Amino acid sequence: MNKLSMTEIEHGLRNQSVASTVSGDDEFWSDFRARARLRNQEQPARVSMIPRGWAIAAVCAAMLIAGIGILSYGRGGGLQELSSVRALDVKVDHGAVLMMTDEAHQSTILWIVDMQPDSDKGGNA
Amino acid sequence: MRMFSTTAFILCVCLAMPGLAGGNLSIRLAEATPEEKGVPPSFSDVAAALRQVGFADCRLVASVAVFLPAKNWTATLGEFSVKCSGPQNNLEVSVRQGGRELLNTTINLQTGKPFVLGSLSGRKSKMAMVFLVR
């Protein structure tokens, strides 16, 4: 293993040093401006964890679910709608059928008058 | 884009929840009583509706609850049996008494809006069924 003297090391390093390429003011400032321009480059685009196609599909699916939900909620009745009777079939004799809605108390009443549970004859109302 | 997608998804799901979620239906059987006892606390939420149909004095005979939509769910309330099938807005109800079918009806129940079915003839007195979805 060769041992270099301090003088040889200094000499060797001096020879390896890069000579300055900037020779004048114009070159210095042109180099400075070029470097300054490099500082404000656009940020690289962010890499999303979710592929764009999947994100759009998820939003569409959510909107579809929301639509179905809102529609079924609407069919089920809005906030102002009362409970109601869609169909009625009274199987025993009865006098009359009264259907009442009490707006004040938000209730619906289906009243079957004189229902005869022991009768054999059915009837439709 | 990701933020927008997440927000839109959460918003849509929240909007859809009320429509998709089923309600809890309670059915209570009230019996009109000659004694002036008023409407018991168990009917406090529908007291006005009961008074409207002459059940100002009544008692609770039985109560049951089912989560909607129901699939041929059957329960016994006193001397009556009730069969429910379907969703809240199209609930098919069949009422029987002593094995005899009294009536079939299809009702559209609104949450928090009581539906009173009467007057059913009990052994002793008149009865009414109160349907209420919470």
Asked if this assembly's ipTM is beyond 0.90, the reply is no
Residues A89 and A72 in one domain: no
Written as one string, the DSSP assignment of chain A is: -----HHHHHHHHHHHSPPP---SHHHHHHHHHHHHHHHTPPPPPPPPSS-HHHHHHHHHHHHHHHHHHHHHHHHH--SSPPPEEEEEEE-SB-SEEEEEEETTTTEEEEEEET-BTT-S-----
Interface touch A82/B110, C-beta < 8 Å: yes
Residue A18 lies in a domain: no
Best mutation target, B7, B15, B81, to test chain A (most A CBs within 10 A): B15
Q: What is the pLDDT of residues B110-131, one digit of tens each?
A: 999 999 998 888 777 889 999 9
Number of domains chain A contains: 2
Region B22-51 average pLDDT: 89
Give B68 to chain A, closest Cα distance, Å: 13
Domain extent, residue A94, equals 82-117
Partner A contacted by B65 (CB < 8 A): no
Residue A60 lies in a domain: yes
Domain locations along chain B: 22-133
Residue A124 lies in a domain: no
Residue A104 lies in a domain: yes
Q: What is the pLDDT of residues A41-81, one digit of tens each?
A: 666 666 667 777 888 888 888 888 888 776 665 554 444 68
Region A13-36 average pLDDT: 77
Residues A71 and A86 in one domain: no
Please report the pLDDT score of residue A124 as a whole number.
45
Residue A14 lies in a domain: no
Q: What is the pLDDT of residues A85-114, one digit of tens each?
A: 999 999 999 999 999 888 888 899 999 988
Residue A19 lies in a domain: no
